[in-house]
């Protein structure tokens, strides 16, 4: 479970970096575009979900982080 939390923190960190780039480096004309805002929402969602999916692919339910079966 601690590896999952570590991966979630990486995703939150990446989302924060993406938000800072969006806030300080993106021109306001692009920032106000609805399509760009929808794209950024998908990027934020992917920053959180993709690390969790990678964790569950590497450690399926019923196994520990070493690949051994539990139970």
55, 3 contact by CB (below 8 A): yes
Q: What is the pLDDT of residues 11-53, one digit of tens each?
A: 899 999 999 988 899 888 887 889 988 999 999 999 889 888 8
Q: What is the pLDDT of residues 57-71, one digit of tens each?
A: 887 777 766 767 776
Domain assignments of the chain as residue spans, ordered by start = 2-58
Q: How far apart, in whole angstroms, are the C-alpha atoms of residue 37 and residue 45?
A: 12
Angle (CA) 19 20 25, round 5°? 110
Q: 0.85 cut: is pTM over it?
A: no
With 70 as the cut, is the pLDDT of residue 1 above it? Answer: no
């Amino acid at each position: 479970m601690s590896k999952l939390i570590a991966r979630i923190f990486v995703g939150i960190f990446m989302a924060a970096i993406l938000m800072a780039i969006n806030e300080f480096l993106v021109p306001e004309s692009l920032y106000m575009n609805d399509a760009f805002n929808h794209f950024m929402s998908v990027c934020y969602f992917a920053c959180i979900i993709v690390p969790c999916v990678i964790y569950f692919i590497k450690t399926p339910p019923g196994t520990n982080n070493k690949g051994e079966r539990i139970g």
